[in-house]
């Protein structure tokens, strides 16, 4: 084997065989000349790319040789030489997918050369195409893998932002837990010294109620830190998610819950993973409360409002605050990862970026309107219907 493309030439007339063979001298082909069908058959066994054969051979016909060649090498090309171009011959050759035919005796020997060259070109192009297709398939698989990995990383990112956020929530939470805990401890000591059984009973009841508060805080926090990966999209009651988020934020930032107005009709649902949806509202409310505290401090004027309604097609939600607002030239940056105006330890700059990712993942949109020194409003929109085929897992 020479590694060159292989041209098998078959003709039983020695003069023509010689002529045909000599034409390809110096060409980059491995040329094999055969004087009869049987010799050709064994030559084909050793490999064939283009078969140039006389149609009428005494032992095995040219068309039979072509059939054989295609069986051995499915993309092999055949050129049939025929004494006269009868319609029959041409049709039969075409049925066998012959590349071309040549009428004998060839008037222009360079025409033969050209046709053979075209056959090789076609063959090589076919092979190149198949090679490219195979490569494309490999690339596609690689791309799909990369995409899957990216999705996984995104889920991890969402989770780690949440955990980082909990760090900033935790200080407030610890404070929240410590006051009922002191209550519990004080009452427990009092019970030990209390002679009056009736009074001791009352203390015990108070202990139970303090303990409930602590339990509620712990449940909220652990519910929030749970990873969303095990969840499916499902119809989530919006008012409940907003309630939980607002309470968690108010509690952790020691913000008076009465200053947060909630106007979310109980029948509204959004199709999402509940913990991701909660993350959206925790982040938006946290920013709102922080902006309000920044502007008003402890004063009663500070206000946050979460409102929602549905027009049947979409659920619209607004989160509004009368906090410090955002300067006009900064608005475009707030969804960027790591953009923050807060000191280290208080802000990661990831909150709104994650909000954006979660909202768009659920086919929603989010917009912001803000006036520096006056306040900010985030406007969210989710489809009212589940994406076909997604829900019910
Ligand atoms: N409600 C808001 N009022 C004023 N500024 C806001 C509000 N929400 C977001 N911002 C601005 O956008 C920035 C990015 O917010 P975010 O992505 O949540 O990160 P972080 O809160 O950690 O800084 C904030 O630092 C703040 O400057
Ligand atoms: Mg934030």
Model confidence over 45-76: pLDDT tens digits?
999 999 999 998 999 999 999 999 999 999 99
pLDDT in tens, 100-118: 888 887 788 888 999 999 9
Cα Rg of the chain (Å, integer): 40
Question: Is 310's C-beta closer than 6 angstroms to any atom of ligand 1?
Answer: no
**Residue 275 φ/ψ, nearest 5 degrees:** -70, -30
> Which one of the ligands is nearest to 347 CA?
1
User: Could you give the angle at the alpha carbon of 322 between the alpha carbons of 250 and 264, nearest 5°?
Assistant: 60
Mean pLDDT lowest among 99-113, 205-219, 224-238, 332-346: 224-238
- Residue 353 vs residue 232, higher pLDDT: 353
**Lookup: tokens for 42:** 């064994």
Mean pLDDT lowest among 144-148, 179-183, 348-352: 179-183
> Which one of the ligands is nearest to 291 CA?
1
Question: Is 324's C-beta closer than 6 angstroms to any atom of ligand 1?
Answer: yes
> Which one of the ligands is nearest to 302 CA?
1
Instruction: Give the burial string for 122-152 (b: 16+ CB within 10 Å, else e).
Output: ebeeeeeeeeeeeeeeeeeeeeeeeeeeeee
Q: Quote the distance between the C-alpha of residue 341 and its chain's center.
A: 31
pLDDT of 1: 52
Cα 378 to middle of ligand 1, angstroms: 11
Contact criterion met (CB below 8 Å) for 362 and 272 = yes
Decide the pairing of beta strands 365-371 and 375-383: antiparallel
CA distance 177 to 188: 17
Question: Is 253's C-beta closer than 6 angstroms to any atom of ligand 1?
Answer: no
Does the pLDDT at position 86 exceed 80? no
Mean pLDDT lowest among 101-115, 137-151, 158-172, 280-294: 158-172
Does the pLDDT at position 222 exceed 80? no
Does the pLDDT at position 389 exceed 70? no
CA distance 208 to 192: 16
> Which one of the ligands is nearest to 376 CA?
1
Question: Is 279's C-beta closer than 6 angstroms to any atom of ligand 1?
Answer: no
Helix (H, G, I), strand (E, B) or coil at 262: strand
Question: Is 339's C-beta closer than 6 angstroms to any atom of ligand 1?
Answer: yes
Question: Which residue matches tokens 């004063």?
Answer: 299
Closest-CA residue to 12 (of 30, 31, 37, 32): 37
Question: Is 287's C-beta closer than 6 angstroms to any atom of ligand 1?
Answer: yes
> pLDDT-based confidence at 2, cuts 50/70/90?
low
Question: Is 351's C-beta closer than 6 angstroms to any atom of ligand 1?
Answer: yes
CA 283 to ligand 1: nearest atom: 18
- Residue 181 vs residue 160, higher pLDDT: 181
Which of 340, 348, 359, 367, when mutated, tests ligand 1's pocket best, judged by the most ligand atoms within 8 Å of its CB? 340
Does the pLDDT at position 393 exceed 80? no
Task: Give the residue whose CA is nearest to atom 13 of ligand 1.
Answer: 340
* Average pLDDT of the segment spanning 312-321: 97
Q: What is the DSSP string of 266-294?
A: TT-EEEE-HHHHHHHHHHHHHHHHHHHHH
Question: Which residue matches tokens 């009709």?
Answer: 265
**Lookup: tokens for 13:** 């007339």
Instruction: Give the burial string for 239-263 (b: 16+ CB within 10 Å, else e).
Output: bebbbbbbbbbbbbbebeeebbeee
Question: Is 342's C-beta closer than 6 angstroms to any atom of ligand 1?
Answer: yes
Task: Tell me what the pLDDT averaged over the chain comes to.
Answer: 89
Contact criterion met (CB below 8 Å) for 327 and 341 = no
CA distance 252 to 286: 9
Cα 232 to middle of ligand 1, angstroms: 29
Which DSSP state fits 3? S
Mean pLDDT lowest among 5-9, 141-145, 384-388: 384-388
pLDDT of 229: 66
CA 335 to ligand 1: nearest atom: 17
pLDDT in tens, 294-316: 998 877 789 999 999 999 999 99
**Residue 195 φ/ψ, nearest 5 degrees:** -85, -35
Question: Is 326's C-beta closer than 6 angstroms to any atom of ligand 1?
Answer: yes
Question: Is 372's C-beta closer than 6 angstroms to any atom of ligand 1?
Answer: no
Does the pLDDT at position 293 exceed 90? yes
Helical ranges in 194-273 per DSSP H:
197-225, 238-252
- Residue 173 vs residue 49, higher pLDDT: 49
Which of 281, 286, 352, 366, when mutated, tests ligand 1's pocket best, judged by the most ligand atoms within 8 Å of its CB? 352
**Lookup: tokens for 173:** 């939470």
Does the pLDDT at position 391 exceed 50? no
Which DSSP state fits 106? P
Does the pLDDT at position 386 exceed 60? yes
Cα 112 to middle of ligand 2, angstroms: 77
Greatest mean pLDDT among 153-162, 313-322, 348-357 = 313-322
Question: Which residue matches tokens 């098998």?
Answer: 8
- Residue 359 vs residue 107, higher pLDDT: 359
pLDDT of 230: 66
Which of 283, 287, 295, 332, when mutated, tests ligand 1's pocket best, judged by the most ligand atoms within 8 Å of its CB? 287
Closest-CA residue to 357 (of 168, 167, 169, 156): 156
pLDDT of 214: 86
Question: Is 220's C-beta closer than 6 angstroms to any atom of ligand 1?
Answer: no
Question: Is 335's C-beta closer than 6 angstroms to any atom of ligand 1?
Answer: no
Does the pLDDT at position 92 exceed 70? yes
Question: Is 323's C-beta closer than 6 angstroms to any atom of ligand 1?
Answer: yes
* Average pLDDT of the segment spanning 127-142: 94
């Amino acid at each position: 084997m020479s590694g060159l493309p292989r041209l098998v030439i078959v003709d039983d007339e020695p003069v023509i065989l010689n002529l045909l063979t000599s034409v390809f001298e110096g060409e980059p082909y491995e040329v094999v000349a055969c004087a009869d069908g049987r010799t050709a058959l064994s030559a084909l066994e050793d490999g064939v790319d283009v078969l140039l054969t006389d149609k009428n051979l005494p032992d095995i016909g040219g068309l039979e040789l072509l059939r054989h060649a295609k069986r051995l090498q499915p993309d092999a090309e055949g050129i049939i030489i025929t004494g006269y171009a009868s319609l029959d011959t041409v049709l039969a050759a075409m049925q066998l997918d012959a590349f071309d035919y040549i009428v004998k005796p060839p008037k222009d020997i360079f025409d033969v050369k050209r046709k053979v060259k075209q056959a090789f070109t076609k063959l090589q192009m076919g092979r190149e195409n198949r090679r490219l297709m195979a490569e494309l398939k490999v690339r596609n698989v690689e791309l799909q893998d990369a995409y899957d990995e990216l999705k996984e990383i995104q889920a991890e990112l969402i989770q780690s932002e949440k955990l980082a956020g909990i760090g900033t929530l935790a200080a407030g939470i610890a404070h929240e837990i410590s006051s009922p805990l002191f209550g519990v401890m004080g009452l427990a000591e009092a019970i030990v010294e209390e002679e009056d059984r009736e009074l001791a009973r009352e203390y015990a009841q108070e202990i139970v109620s303090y303990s409930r508060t602590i339990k509620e805080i712990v449940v909220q926090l652990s519910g929030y830190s749970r990873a969303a990966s095990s969840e499916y999209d499902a119809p989530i009651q919006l008012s409940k998610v907003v309630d939980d988020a607002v309470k968690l934020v108010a509690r952790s930032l020691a913000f008076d819950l009465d200053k947060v107005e909630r106007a979310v009709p109980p029948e509204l649902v959004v199709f999402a993973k509940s913990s991701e949806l909660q993350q959206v509202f925790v982040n938006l409310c946290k920013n709102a409360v922080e902006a309000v505290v920044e502007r008003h401090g402890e004063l009663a004027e500070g206000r946050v409002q979460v409102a929602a309604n549905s027009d049947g097609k979409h659920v619209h939600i607004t989160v509004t605050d009368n906090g410090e607002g955002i300067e006009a030239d900064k608005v475009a940056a707030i969804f960027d990862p790591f953009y923050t105006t807060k000191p280290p330890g208080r802000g990661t700059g990831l909150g709104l970026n994650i909000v954006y990712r979660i909202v768009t993942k659920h086919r929603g949109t989010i917009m912001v309107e803000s006036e520096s020194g006056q306040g900010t409003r985030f406007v969210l929109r989710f489809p009212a219907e589940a994406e076909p085929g997604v829900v019910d897992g």
